[in-house]
Amino acid sequence: MQKINLVIITGMSGAGKTVAIQSFEDMGYFTVDNMPANLIEKFVSLLVTSDKGDIDKVAMVVDMRSRSFFDELSDIVNDLSDNPAVEFRLLFLDSSDEELVARYKETRRSHPLAVDGRVLDGINRERELLSPLKSFSQNVIDTSELTPRNLRSKITQQFATENTKAPFRIEVMSFGFKYGLPLDADLVFDVRFLPNPHYVPELRNLTGLDDAVYHYVMDAPESGAFYDNLMRMLNPIIPGYEKEGKSVLTIAIGCTGGQHRSVAFAKRISEELAENWPVNTSHRDKDRRKETVNRS
């Protein structure tokens, strides 16, 4: 029998439960959105008695829909609190009526408890139902003045440990502008101003990972000056991305075809950044020309 770290996320509709569940997923929790209350204990029992032990951190969103739903959830919360195999915490998300109304108007959604269509009536009904559950919650976060990023930060502060903290890593990728910008890039740098090995016959069919091409690119005076200035910019700002809660920073280096100059630069940047950060390196278009030749 294993012990389960369980977090149930509930609270006012529109208070940020979607952002909350995403935050727990980033911290390595197994997440379940909109879990039916009557399945919670069965689900937890399966995890506790499992001999695999591959899921020991679970976060689930449980929404309020009716008085009977609330009564059922209240009984389940009491049982979980007394279960020695479960380390249980209840996270309650709240927000002001004014802010909730504004959010519903912005999304043009109806409140689940607004039978007659008036959002404020639904909010009042839900607040009345949830009042006892809020007082029971170990963690209450008022999201009235919080941006999604601020809410993620608060959840991380309250729930993250060294084992659950979302790891920050850097993705360095090379690409060719002729094939389009990478959609997931945070920072993009253009090295098409550097000498191009494509016009050197013996280097044309090699890539920036080959020593001959790498040194042709990196030994150019323009490369040295650009590289030094680029790293002087990157090294001070990367900690800021981690501090603001970003889990992956993608740095993209582009040249014309993504085979020579960008590959060499991505390789060198990765090597230096890897001294202080977890780094993964990829070359999106490095072999694209070879594939085209083979198909023809």
**224 assigned to a ligand binding site:** no
Q: C-alpha distances in angstroms, 79 versus 8, 74, 134, 261, 280?
A: 13, 9, 17, 62, 44
> Mean pLDDT in the chain?
85
pTM of the model: 0.58
Residue 15 in marked binding region? yes
The annotation status of 12 as a binding-site residue, yes or no, is yes
Domains, the chain, with CATH or none: 4-159 (3.40.50.300), 169-295 (no CATH)
Q: 121 falls in which pLDDT band (50, 70, 90)?
A: confident
For 216-268, write each residue's pLDDT tens digit. Answer: 999 999 999 999 999 999 999 999 888 776 778 999 999 999 999 999 999 99
Residue 127 is labelled as binding a ligand: no
16 is in an annotated binding site: yes
What does the block give as tokens for 90? 């209840």
Beta-bridge partners for 188? 252
pLDDT at 82 over 70: yes
Write down the pLDDT at residue 193.
95
Quote the pLDDT of residue 285: 92
Q: Which two tokens mark 36?
A: 């039916």
Residue 270 marked in a binding site: no
Q: Residue 66: is its pLDDT beyond 60? A: no
Task: Determine the pLDDT at residue 163.
Answer: 54
